[in-house]
Structure 1
């Protein structure tokens, strides 16, 4: 008998299969019935909302490959076997035809289309209480914001708010071919912030960390403000989460990976053994693994004396020259390990960066040392200037969030990617997938530097 989460997943797919066409932005679905009335009662509304979590767990999203891909281009991971798309990502020179880029783009727009359906249809349902509507709508706004943000920082020039190269902001549900052009980066951020503001207003504290909450929306919004260098707003939101009595920083760094719903966890995706295998188990724990930990990351952690955080990177049982990340399990049968999407330690490091860059670099020290001490490292006593602060933050965030999908984006927004990875500047972001460019017939404009590929 299927578990309830799997049932919700299939209900959602059946209700919204018209949205999950080969190209969710632009291709006409064939042979599908209208979904205008897909959310018609309380049961279908619950199924649709829970379906958002299931889609987010997809292998091309937070089920593994989204995080692995960014760790690849950042140099934390390497391609150990023979899949061409992993080899391309590991080189940092990602072509417009890369399979992961194509599937990741579609996957996040699947989440967005599902969220749009809820935002459109749930307010009209008389069968739902006001509280139920608020939770469903708050979840949909959060999921749409998260998806837009993850699309922007992969495929848009997120590091430049003056850039015209943002993302297509798909805000309505439609079965018609859609030619949604790219918005500017500023407009993209504006929409993400608007959705998160609504989510914060609608969501409550939540009963568990497997569902999004007001604190989850505050956490993500703090990150969004930080990326725009809006430091006062980022620090204030980070402080709101840090002082929330529901969360605390455990003394044991590894606790969040060992215990579901750790006190540090703000939002985690709940994988269980009965689910389809998550990609971590498929890609990293097979022999030989498709993805393994790079020698560069191991050397970095060892050189810093990272006994706590480094303990989560172990030699493969089958090959002592290959290291795997054990945050998501350590064997092919470890299928139930969760993906941590948002956690408290990030709020300390966001507040450290915001205070240090908005005032004097040493304003970062209390929060920075809080995280270092938890990892068994000594205090930093002085930071001379912002350049040194950025170097320290990049290293600290690399160690704290290794194999959690932060390092590449940090490297880019600090302006350190070219020197660190030795790549051309245009490779700070991925290309718009060739398939999308072809289908839109000129509506989408390719990212600079990729037009000749």
Structure 2
């Protein structure tokens, strides 16, 4: 089932304010057309809780696949892509040329804040409602809570990946008028995400044989508590790697859907639709181009990699704008109904390779990287085990770069390894763009905190 009519089912959830307990959001005027907020909060019914749970998928999807969305902007910051929109030069002048990302710009430096917090708030409403609603079994309650906590963790992950050392509030389930939640540190946010995912695991283990609510087609194969748990563990493995907890990552990967001989595209996806009332995938915008540096090796020779052949193509004409010239287009998202991966088997194999690398098991790390090289890149295996830590790191980042191309990872990976400055090597000839480390807190948030 594609998320086609979910907006209608989740009006009461989406009407909640993202910054309640965070900033100066005014909720004093009730929404007379959509009175469901008070209903699910004060007198939840089985149907309203199930609809709101399904609606969390819409909330998490918002802001991901637009031209100015998360994947697109991270692609620009990671030198994977350019947005050459003559109607809005800020895609270059701010994201690439600007000294800083503008916290007052809701589409750029101030982005990816209110949306995730809105959905986190919606999930809290669902979780609170399950404690008082009648007409659901204990297993159904566990299933709802495990699902909601997992989605919450994903939204918190968006927040901390974009803000990094700036941190973010986590104690946000507060009443309107309460003191603002304090800004938690990066480590505290990651610990909170890990706790949410682990608590969700416990819930899902007691969640029965099926979900009592609908999920989208992007969760095919992961649409029951037991199989959804494998997705939960996959996300937990990613978080453990970001936290540099290598043994924890290996355990989570063992519990995930990782399959070294399986389809590399197996995974969980956000689905889009061009149908009226739904959200289309905007990553196939005519303004989005690939960085031609992707196609060249460091010595200037043409890069031979099957992943590039699958994921890019050449345009009929070059596009020139603000010092950038490119004729390379992405084919990752061929139309406005293309799905966006949340996590795939290919990433899981790379996460396991990284964990082995950090545990100095270079033999296993090399073996896993060879799987990706040969199966995904149609490249020859490495001639020998990479026992030099720097060479192994280079190889890992190289394989992640092309296996996860334009999926929102490159900028984050280079930051994790303190190699952001190397992105300058992929700027156009004669141009040196700025390297941004993280997004700032939006000005509305800092103003509310004075």
The TM-score with structure 2 as length reference comes to: 0.82
Distance change in 2, residues 1:101/1:118 (3 Å): farther
Instruction: Tell me which of 91, 95, 105 is aligned to 1:89.
Output: 95
Residue pair 2:289, 2:328 contacting (<8 A) in 1 also: yes
| In structure 2, distance between residues paired with 1:370 and 1:398 | 15
Structure 1 residue 125 displacement after superposition: 1.3
Which residue does 2:262 correspond to in 1?
Answer: 249
Distance change in 2, residues 1:118/1:85 (3 Å): farther
Instruction: Tell me which of 4, 28, 51 is aligned to 2:55.
Output: 51
| In structure 1, distance between residues paired with 2:133 and 2:310 | 50
| 1:77 maps onto 2:81 in alignment | yes
Residue pair 1:122, 1:133 contacting (<8 A) in 2 also: yes
| In structure 2, distance between residues paired with 1:406 and 1:4 | 25
Deviation per CA, 1:241-261: give whole Å up to 9, x if none. 2567xx9632xx6xx4xxxxx
SS of 1:104's equivalent in the other structure is coil
| In structure 1, distance between residues paired with 2:309 and 2:179 | 47
Which residue does 2:118 correspond to in 1?
Answer: 110
Instruction: Tell me which of 362, 369, 380 is aligned to 1:378.
Output: 380
Which residue does 2:446 correspond to in 1?
Answer: 437
Structure 1 residue 21 displacement after superposition: 6.9
| 1:428 maps onto 2:428 in alignment | no
Which residue does 2:428 correspond to in 1?
Answer: none
Q: Which runs of 5+ in 2 are unaligned?
A: 212-216, 320-325, 426-431
Deviation per CA, 1:281-304: give whole Å up to 9, x if none. 3x6433xx1x21111223359844
Q: Which runs of 5+ in 1 are unaligned?
A: 158-164, 257-263, 442-453
Residue pair 2:56, 2:151 contacting (<8 A) in 1 also: yes
Which residue does 1:269 correspond to in 2?
Answer: 270
| In structure 1, distance between residues paired with 2:261 and 2:189 | 32
| In structure 2, distance between residues paired with 1:21 and 1:437 | 12
Residue pair 1:25, 1:180 contacting (<8 A) in 2 also: no
The number of residues matched between the two structures is 409
SS of 1:102's equivalent in the other structure is coil
- Range with bigger deviation, 30-39 or 181-190: 30-39
Instruction: Tell me which of 139, 146, 155 is aligned to 1:138.
Output: 146
| In structure 2, distance between residues paired with 1:428 and 1:70 | 11
Which residue does 1:17 correspond to in 2?
Answer: 15
Q: Where does 1:358-377 land on structure 2 (aligned, <5 Å)?
A: 358-375=359-376, 376-377=378-379
Structure 1 residue 413 displacement after superposition: 0.5
Structure 1 residue 97 displacement after superposition: 2.5
| In structure 2, distance between residues paired with 1:270 and 1:436 | 31
| In structure 1, distance between residues paired with 2:305 and 2:233 | 30
Structure 1 residue 10 displacement after superposition: 2.8
| In structure 1, distance between residues paired with 2:386 and 2:305 | 21
Which residue does 1:161 correspond to in 2?
Answer: none
Distance change in 2, residues 1:36/1:280 (3 Å): closer
Residue pair 2:150, 2:197 contacting (<8 A) in 1 also: yes
Residue pair 1:56, 1:63 contacting (<8 A) in 2 also: no
Distance change in 2, residues 1:391/1:111 (3 Å): same
| 1:306 maps onto 2:313 in alignment | no
- RMSD over aligned CA atoms reads 3.0
Residue pair 2:424, 2:435 contacting (<8 A) in 1 also: no
Q: Where does 1:6-405 land on structure 2 (aligned, <5 Å)?
A: 6-20=4-18, 25-32=23-30, 35-38=37-40, 40-58=44-62, 60-62=63-65, 65-82=69-86, 83-87=88-92, 88-91=94-97, 93-98=100-105, 99-157=107-165, 165-176=166-177, 178-203=179-204, 209-210=218-219, 213-242=228-257, 249-250=262-263, 256=265, 264-265=266-267, 267-274=268-275, 278=279, 280-281=281-282, 284-286=284-286, 289=287, 291-299=288-296, 303-316=302-315, 321-329=326-334, 334-375=335-376, 376-380=378-382, 381-405=384-408
